[in-house]
Amino acid sequence: MEFKGNYVAIITPFRNGEVDFQALEGLVEHMIRGGVSGLVPCGTTGESPTLSHKEHDLVIEEVIRFAAGRVPVIAGTGSNSTAEAVRLTRHAEKAGASAALVVSPYYNKPSQEGLKAHFRAIADASSLPIVLYQIPGRCSIELSLDTIADLAEHPRIQAIKEATGNLGNVSDIRRRTDLEILSGDDNLTLPILSLGGGGVVSVLSNLLPEQISALVQAGLEGRMGDALAIHEALYPLMRAMFLETNPLPIKTALSAQGFCAEEFRLPLLPMDPKNRNKLMRILEDTLTNLKGE
Active site residues: 133, 161
- For residues 232 and 100, give the distance between their C-alpha atoms in angstroms, rounded to a whole number: 31
- For residues 278 and 256, give the distance between their C-alpha atoms in angstroms, rounded to a whole number: 13
- For residues 42 and 39, give the distance between their C-alpha atoms in angstroms, rounded to a whole number: 10
Amino acid at 103: V
Helix axis angle for 224-240 and 209-220, nearest 10°, is 140
